[in-house]
Structure 1
């Protein structure tokens, strides 16, 4: 799930950069790209990957 969110953030950063959209200092393409990298790092670390099924051993 976080991998999809990272892809969306990278796409938004690409659109801001490619279309040369004027944004304020907080919402620049570099900042959105860094947010995407953070979300991608969380995804790779295994956070947000969903619940693991517990198995019972008897």
Structure 2
């Protein structure tokens, strides 16, 4: 789930950069890209990966 969120953030950053949209200082393509990298790092760290079955042995 977090990887999809990061992909959407990267796509929005690409659109802002490619379309050369003038935004304020907090909503720049670099800041959106950094948010995407943060979400991607959380995904790779295992945050939000869902439930794991512990203690079940078959």
Structure 1 length as normaliser, TM-score?
Answer: 0.91
Residue 31 of structure 1 is matched in structure 2 by 31
Unaligned runs of 5+ in 1: none
Match of 1:18 in 2: 18
Per the normalisation by structure 2, the TM-score is: 0.91
Task: State the Cα RMSD in Å.
Answer: 1.0
Structure 2 portions without partners, runs of 5+:
none
**How many residues matched?**
57
> Which aligned pairs between 1:34-45 and structure 2 lie closer than 5 A?
34-45=34-45
